[in-house]
A and B are shown apart, each in its own frame.
Chain A
Amino acid sequence: MSAPSTNAPPQRRAPTKRLMAPSVLFLLVWMIVPLAMTLYYSLQDYNLMMPNTRGFAGFLSYELLFTDPVFWDALLNTLLLVATCLLVTVVAGLALALLFNRTFVGRGIARTLAISPFFVMPVVTGLIWKYMLLDPVYGLFSWVMRSVGLEPIQWLSSYPLLSVVMMISWEWTPFALLILLTGLQSLPEDQLEAVRLDGANRWQEFRHIVLPHLGQVLYVVIMLESIFFLTSFAEIYATTSGGPGTATTNLPYYIYLSAFFQYDIGLSSAAAVGAVILANIFAIFLIRFVAGNLNAGSQR
Chain B
Amino acid sequence: MTASNVDQAPGRKSGAGGTALTLLAWLIGITMFFPILWVVLTALKTEQTAFSMTPTFIFSPTLESFRSALAQGSGYWHYALNSVITALGSTLVGLALAIPAAYAMAFYPSRRTDFTLVWMVSTKFIPAVGVLIPVFLVYRSLGLLDTRLGLTMLFTAMNLPIMVWMVYSYFRDIPVDIVEAASIDGASTTQTMFRVILPLALPGLASTGLLALILAWNESFWSLTMTDYHAATLAVYTASFKSGEGLFWARLSAASVLTIAPIVVLGWFAQRQMVRGLTFGAVK
Choose from A27, A102, A130 the contact partner of B161 (Cβ within 8 Å). Answer: A27
Residues in B with CB closer than 8 Å to A291 are 114, 118
Q: Mark A163-181, 1 if CB is under 8 A from B, else 0.
A: 0000000100111001100
Q: Which residue of B lies closest to A276 (CB)?
A: B130
Residues in A with CB closer than 8 Å to B24 are 99
A29 to B257, CA, bound (A): 36
Check B256 against A128 for contact (C-beta < 8 Å): yes
State the Cβ distance, B23 to closest chain A Cβ, in Å: 9
- For A, the interface residue count at a CB cutoff of 8 angstroms equals 116
Check B97 against A300 for contact (C-beta < 8 Å): no
Check A127 against B130 for contact (C-beta < 8 Å): no
Residues in B with CB closer than 8 Å to A297 are 172, 281
Check B39 against A102 for contact (C-beta < 8 Å): no
B63 contacts A by Cβ under 8 Å: no
Check A127 against B238 for contact (C-beta < 8 Å): yes
Choose from A22, A31, A287 the contact partner of B157 (Cβ within 8 Å). Answer: A31
A interface: dominant SS: helix
Interface residues of A in 109-139 (CB under 8 A from B): 109-124, 126-133, 137-138
Choose from A13, A34, A119 the contact partner of B264 (Cβ within 8 Å). Answer: A119
Q: Which residue of A lies closest to B249 (CB)?
A: A131
Residues in B with CB closer than 8 Å to A31 are 123, 126, 131, 157
A231-B127 contact in complex given A14-B189, A20-B101, A23-B97, C-beta closer than 8 Å: yes
User: Residues of B with Cβ closer than 8 Å to A?
Assistant: 1, 3-12, 14, 18, 21-22, 24-26, 28-30, 32-33, 35-36, 38-39, 42, 51-55, 97-98, 100-101, 103-105, 107-110, 112-114, 116-118, 120-123, 125-138, 153-154, 156-157, 160-161, 164, 172, 176, 179-180, 183-184, 189, 214, 217-218, 220-221, 224-225, 234-235, 238-239, 241-242, 247, 249, 252-253, 256, 259-260, 263-264, 266-268, 271-272, 274-275, 278-284
10 contacts across the A-B interface (CB closer than 8 A): A35-B126, A35-B134, A102-B21, A116-B267, A121-B259, A127-B241, A174-B32, A175-B278, A178-B271, A189-B9
Q: A96-B25, A233-B221 are in contact. List 10 more A-B contacts (CB 8 A).
A: A16-B110, A99-B25, A113-B32, A119-B266, A129-B35, A140-B38, A182-B275, A196-B10, A259-B136, A294-B281
Closest 6 CB pairs of A and B: A119-B267, A283-B125, A30-B157, A37-B134, A34-B131, A234-B220
User: Residues of A with Cβ closer than 8 Å to B?
Assistant: 10, 12-17, 19-20, 22-24, 26-27, 30-35, 37-38, 41, 96, 99-100, 102-107, 109-124, 126-133, 137-138, 140, 143, 146, 170, 173-175, 178-179, 182-183, 186, 189, 192-193, 196-197, 216-217, 220, 224, 227, 230-231, 233-234, 237-239, 241, 251-252, 255-256, 259-260, 265, 268-269, 272-273, 275-276, 279-280, 282-283, 286-287, 289-291, 293-295, 297-298, 300
